[in-house]
Amino acid sequence: MRIELARIGGVSVIQDEDGRVHWEAGGAIDADGANGQNGAKFAYRMDDKGLDALKNAGWPSGSWDNVLFDRGDGHPLADDDGNVYSKTTYAWKGRAIPTRYVDAATVPYVVVNPLVRQRAVGIVMGCRALVTYKGKSVAAVVADVSGAARIGELSIAAAKALGIPSSPRKGGTDTGVTYEMWPGSAAIIDGAIYELQRA
């Protein structure tokens, strides 16, 4: 039976009888997890010259510890060059911090609303996804969770593949992005098999 999992900001999120979850929304750009692990730039830098602005990670004024990696003293962990380590909800087990999270700069991923993650039948984190914009599609993985009131967000790499302006600071699109995901079906991106991870 086809059911509405959630309605977020006027966007209806549907799960079909075959398990597919889908919605149409805009496309905000997520930089989280970009830690230089694939030769690309870091999402955040202490001098605020990263791919995205530090304020978008909540530093220093907000709740940043769900995005930036805390070094244990209330400050974000940075390398010797001032690059700050950020994280995605999906984390590779057994990997060191620089390579533990999904790289927004080089891996196409989708950000899912927490209600959708909670209510969908099947495991969402690490599942395969497909994002479509103006007739072009890219295979992706569900790798991050948004704020409770947000819907429609994708990684820098996914935006680039679709021809959407990919800057986390000034890119994205307000409408026309179709998101599909298959909870319980593990994503395979560039030969990497993603483990399905429960909340």
Q: How far is CA 68 from CA 53, 92, 126, 170, 179, in A?
A: 12, 16, 20, 21, 26
pLDDT reported for residue 1: 79
pLDDT, block means (10 residues), the chain with 199 residues: 94 97 98 94 96 93 86 91 96 94 98 97 98 98 95 98 97 98 98 94
How far is CA 175 from its chain centroid?
Answer: 18
* Alpha helices in 78-135, H assignment, sequence order: 97-100, 114-119
Domain ranges for the chain: 3-32+104-193
* Architecture of the 3-32+104-193 domain: Beta Barrel (2.40)
3-state secondary structure of 70: strand
Residues 95-132 as b/e (b if ≥16 CB within 10 A, e otherwise) read eeeeebbbbbbbbbbbbbbbbbbebbeebbbbbbbbbb
What is the H or E stretch that residue 156 is in?
A: helix 156-162
